Amino acid sequence: MAQRTQRTNPSEDVTDHRFLQFPQTLNDATRVRYVTNLSLLLTKEIYIALSFDWELAIMTGLTALIQGFLQYTHSDASGVDLFVCQGWARLFRIQKPVYREFLLEFYAIVSYDHRKALDDRTAFAFRLGGVSRECSVIELATRVGIYTADETRSVHFLAFLADCLTERPDDYNENTFGAEITRAVYTPSTARGGMIRSTTYRMLHRLISISLMHHKNSERVPSTDLYFLWALVTPGRHLNLPVA
C-alpha cells in the first residue's frame, strides 16, 4: 500500500489557523454553528487511510479481476447502451495529499440540500481555503475527478444519475448477502475481509474500505461496506456518486 502524504505534527491549537477563523461578518447563529461543529471535530481523530497500490495490482494481474465491476453501462428500456460510467474506477484511484486544516474547515461548514436538483449550483455550500463556495452535486463529482466534464454534458447523463440507487432497495438483505460471500452468519461487529471467499470480492472490499470509507482497520466489514460491495457486484445495480 502507498501512503497518502499529509502535513505532520499539527499545532496543538489548530483553531489558530486562518482557515478556521470564521468571518465576523457572518450572522451570529451561523458563526456559532460553525464553531460548534469545529469544536466537535477537534475531539475526533482524523485518520488518513492507506491508499491502494495500483502498480502492484497491475503487475500481479489483480486489476483484471475487478475491471468489469468498476464500470456501469446505462441502457434504455430496449437495452440500447446509452452511457458508460467509470466513476468507481476513478474514485478508487484518487490519491491526493490530505491536510488537517482543509478537512476541519470543510466539515465544519459544509451543507447539502438534498431537495435540490443534481445540477442546482446552490445544492452544496462550503468554505475551503478561507473562501466561501457553492456547487451542484454534478460539479462536485467533476471537481474531485469522479466524472469528466464531457461525460456530464452527455444528453444521457441526468437520466443515468436518476437511474442510480440513492437508498437501499427492498431486495437487498445484508444477512443473506453476507452469508453468500462468507458461508457464515454475518455479524457487522465481527465480520472481517478475510472471511470473504472470493479473491475478487476481497479486493473490492479493500478498495471500498481504504479509498471510500477510510477505516482505520481496513479488514472490518461493517454494514455500509457490505452494501457498497453488493451494489458493485450485483448486475443492474449502480450507486450514485459521490453522494450515495
Tens of pLDDT along 60-91? Answer: 888 888 888 988 888 888 888 888 888 888 98
Report the C-alpha gap between 63 and 132 in whole angstroms.
Answer: 39
Instruction: List pLDDT tens digits, range 146-186.
Output: 999 988 988 888 888 887 877 888 889 999 999 999 989 99
| The predicted structure's pLDDT at residue 239 | 67
| The predicted structure's pLDDT at residue 67 | 87
Confidence of residue 139 (pLDDT cuts 50, 70, 90): very high
Rounded to whole angstroms, what are the CA distances from 115 to 118, 124, 132, 134, 155? 9, 11, 21, 15, 22
For 76, the 3-state DSSP assignment is: coil
- What is the model's pTM? 0.80
**Is the pLDDT confidence value at 13 over 70?**
no
**Is the pLDDT confidence value at 244 over 50?**
no
Residues 171, 230: contact at Cβ < 8 Å? no
Report the C-alpha gap between 14 and 46 in whole angstroms.
Answer: 13
Rounded to whole angstroms, what are the CA distances from 184 to 178, 190, 208, 231? 7, 11, 21, 20
Confidence of residue 8 (pLDDT cuts 50, 70, 90): very low
| The predicted structure's pLDDT at residue 114 | 86
Instruction: List pLDDT tens digits, range 185-243.
Output: 999 999 999 999 999 999 999 999 888 888 777 889 999 999 999 999 987 776 665 43
